[in-house]
A and B are shown apart, each in its own frame.
Chain A
Amino acid sequence: MKILIATALFPPDIAPPAPYVKELAARLSTNHDVRVLCYGTIPETVEEVPIDVIPKRHFAWFRLWLFTRTLFTLTRRHDVVLIQNAPSTELPAAFVGLFYKQKLQLQMSDQKVVSTGWRNFLHRFTCKRITCIVDTPLPKDRPEIIPFADYPSEAFAAYEKSWEQHLALLSTHFNTV
């Protein structure tokens, strides 16, 4: 399956869901053809995953237009488009959804995005132009390896299990496409 992940944040951005999206792209790419569309400058690389970058340094409306245009082009070539929730991805998704609604899925990966005022309106507007909302719980954060502490084997086992469960749940959404 060809999967496009459209995200506002990607490492070296540090705010959530950037690290999650990178890990998601890496794990999905073991079984699918994955591509990422993000805003940024020079994103961190993920093996076997091409990344299209819309420079953030452009003025807001221009970069929004570039993202929309690229999203439109890439959506045609993919089976599933997983939009990570944020105003800067949802507005382009709302436009693309006019043409390719059946491919678009909105994933609520950024719990901190505040949906009030115009953001709430945009979010509701976008939800009408996508096929489903993916609100599966996110996996655990990757455990840290502390140089002077024991290797966190149990924490890593729990981390891997949370990812297995997460991907299994996501797959149920992909299979509805």
Chain B
Amino acid sequence: MSTPFTHAMAGEWNKIFSVTADKTDFDQYQKLELELATKVLENLGYILDATQVHTGGERFVMSGYKLVLTGINKQRRKVVIKFSSHPAGREEIKHEHFVSTSLQQLDFAAHSFAAPTEFEFRDTTNHTFRAVEYVEEKTPMPTLPTTEQFFLALRAFEVQSGLHATTSSHIKKVNKIFGLATAKDYLRATDAYATYITDSKLASSITNTLKQAKEMLHQHTDTIRQYTGFLTHTDFAPHNVRLVDGELYLLDQTSLHFGNKHESWARFINYMYLYNTTLAQYLITYTRDNKSPEEYQSLRLMQLYKLIYLLAFYVGSHQRTSGNHQQLSAARLQFWSEILTAVQSDQAPEQKLIDTYKTTRNKLRDKDEKVRQRALGQL
């Protein structure tokens, strides 16, 4: 089967179907990569932080063969550096550089958003790295009152939907840089993820729900198509948003593509079921009360799509891990299966389900992952 069309979708696809290393392999890769990165960056005047929080924990199941490092550059500016000598990791970093430089040139944007300043980008014969400004928030989004988070989220959604590729000239411009995710791409990916989940037999309790969710997506292809062509962030979550002095920053630009407008909303709302159920419900209610029935339907469809992806991701994670990591993947499969059932029925998930899962998750997470999550502002 051919891979999904856009770089962002391919990134998600690869996290399930192309990552084959287990933790031991990854640790070995990371050790060698870190040695190389340290040597290269220190020669260029960077000082890396003694503790690198983004190299530990569960990074190995999602990393994509690149390092995310923090430090300071020669000008004493705090930086985030993505570094890789692996072909896939290098490709991702190059793409992010390309997207970042191209985004500001799109002349049909109704709104604009900020991106961290790129201080340095190097693509040599054996490695690639990109050093960008570390955007520090005085008050991370999850610490804001829920009502403020609500308005911040809406603002971020509005900024993304201000870029809408409709005409042939828009499409030509964005296709080269981001790719254009079509309704067919979403359905193709859904079918592949659903088959992967079913074949694994790890989520047998939701076979029917999965089938119904898939059918719902297929039956409403036109609604998915109706809202494609919008800039959307496939991993829109608090750790990829920064509000600094009134300026909104969207991070991780490899996750940007032109697709269904509600893909980023869906990712955010699904995420918030776990971290702030009230906010998730506010956003759903807001959409139902203020947007057209088609928009609300599109949001629900994207929620289903993102949940099916998440389940496929944790199936893959379960197969590549052992011990506590594997038990954690199993717990996640159970949890997100219940969320899929709730969303499929247009119901709010029960708080008891969320609390039970969080207790299990916190017991099973290792120390490094807890540190990483704290750094991401999620603990």
Contact = CB atoms under 8 A, between A and B. Distances in A.
Interface in B196-243: 222, 225-227, 229
Contacts of A42: 222, 225-226
A11 interface: yes
Interface string A34-57: 000001111011000000000011
A14 B161 contact: yes
B375 interface: no
A58 B281 CA distance: 40
Contact of B225 (A15, A41, A142, A144): A41
Contacts of A40: 166
A145 B147 contact: no
Given A42-B225, A56-B166, A57-B167, A15 B290 contact: no
A14 B162 contact: yes
Given A12-B226, A14-B161, A42-B225, A57 B168 contact: yes
Contacts of A117: none
B300 interface: no
A148 B286 CA distance: 10
B294 A44 contact: yes
A46 B171 CA distance: 27
B7 to A, nearest CB: 21
Interface residues of A, number: 22
B168 A147 contact: no
A147 B279 CA distance: 10
A148 B282 contact: yes
A148 B225 CA distance: 32
A153 to B, nearest CB: 14
Given A144-B290, A145-B290, A12 B282 contact: no
A60 interface: yes
A66 to B, nearest CB: 13
A39 B164 CA distance: 14
A144 B291 CA distance: 10
Contacts of B164: 13-15
A41 B166 contact: yes
B110 A15 contact: yes
Given A42-B222, A145-B286, A145-B289, A60 B281 contact: no
Interface string B255-278: 000000100000000000000000
B292 interface: yes
B171 A146 contact: no
B110 A14 contact: yes
A144 B285 CA distance: 12
B105 interface: no
A118 interface: no
Nearest to B294: A44
Contacts of A142: 290
B169 interface: yes
Interface in A1-49: 11-15, 39-42, 44-45
Contact of A60 (B150, B168, B285): B168
Contacts of B150: 146-148
Contacts of B282: 147-148
Given A11-B292, A146-B286, A60 B169 contact: yes
Interface in B320-374: none
Interface string A97-108: 000000000000
A39 B110 CA distance: 18
Contacts of A58: 168
A59 B162 CA distance: 22
A81 B161 CA distance: 30
A41 B226 contact: yes
A142 B290 CA distance: 9
Contacts of A39: 166
A55 to B, nearest CB: 9
A162 to B, nearest CB: 18
Contacts of A147: 150, 281-282, 285-286, 289
Contact of A44 (B225, B286, B292): B292
Given A14-B110, A14-B161, A144-B290, A59 B226 contact: no
Interface of A: 11-15, 39-42, 44-45, 56-60, 142, 144-148
Given A41-B166, A148-B146, 9 more contacts: A12-B261, A15-B164, A39-B166, A42-B225, A44-B292, A57-B171, A145-B286, A147-B281, A147-B289
